[in-house]
Amino acid sequence: MKDMVQFGIRIRDLRKMNHFSLRELGERSGVSYSFINSIENNRFSPSRETVIALADALTSSEKDDLLLLAGFAPTDEEALEGPSDPIQAREIDDPEVSLFFKDFQNAPKEKRDEMLRFWNFIKEQQQGRNPDSQQ
């Protein structure tokens, strides 16, 4: 579920913990410092690619948490460069899915890790399945 106020606060906190100015974070992430300032002050919502770029620049192990705060589904390591399909970059606007991610976000880290392992297991099973087979 989207919580842009908390997202902006978290980005500012991470930036300050890394002792980066807005300009330094902008240079490291490829995101303009004025846009980062707008995100921190809850004036604009970032795209999925922007969230990932900021997380990478902040060397944050919290990419999934940041994605969830910004209203995007968490991702696995192979997809952290950002989605190649613009449809994947859209916000989550299905209420049931949004509730799931809110529950996911509020779960303890151990539960989130378990859920991600389960999700990756399902994806691996789907990749090994023939399109014509039924299970």
What is d(CA 41, CA 112) in angstroms, rounded to the nearest whole number? Answer: 28
- Residue range 65-73: mean pLDDT, rounded: 85
Residue predicted with more confidence, 85 or 121? 121
In degrees, rounded to 5, the angle at the alpha carbon of residue 48 between the alpha carbons of residues 117 and 66 is 60
What is d(CA 3, CA 30) in angstroms, rounded to the nearest whole number? Answer: 23
Q: Does residue 87 register a pLDDT over 80?
A: no
pLDDT in tens, 15-68: 999 999 999 999 999 999 999 999 999 898 899 899 999 999 997 677 888 888
Mean pLDDT, the chain, rounded, equals 78
Q: Confidence band (pLDDT; 50, 70, 90) for 85?
A: very low
Distant-in-sequence, close-in-space partners of 134: CB < 8 Å, separation ≥ 6: none
How far is C-alpha 94 from the geometric centre of its chain's CA atoms? 17
pLDDT of residue 82: 42
